[in-house]
Amino acid sequence: MHPQPRVFPEQRRDALEAYAHIVCKCPVENWSKTLASCPDGCADQQKGMVLRRIAEGWKLDAIVAEQVERFGSKAAADPGAGKDGSRWII
């Protein structure tokens, strides 16, 4: 497990926004909560991944796309979030 990176307050804000767009991979909850709404330890690994990407300067779409690539389309909380980070406009 990687240690949590140091992030600036604006990066923490960006991470919280990203958490709302990514679904926790916990099989017990059956992909039913976003990282923002999951207080359980099952979300820690994904949250850490997001924080590291934010600290590296990644943008939200790229972070979501990486999660989708790694865990499948159910990792995207937004309908239509694609591998390339694109989204449906409804």
Give the global pTM.
0.79
Task: HSE, CB side, 13 Å, CA atoms: give it for residue 13.
Answer: 3
Q: Helix-strand-coil percent breakdown of the chain, rounded to 5? A: 50, 5, 45
* Token couple for 90: 């409804």
Instruction: Identify residue 37 by its one-letter amino acid code.
Output: S
DSSP 46-74: HHHHHHHHHHTT--HHHHHHHHHHHH-GG
Which letter does DSSP use for residue 84 in this model?
T
pLDDT given for residue 2 in this prediction: 59
**Across the chain, what does the average pLDDT equal?**
84
pLDDT given for residue 89 in this prediction: 45
Q: Which residue has the higher pLDDT, 57 or 29?
A: 57
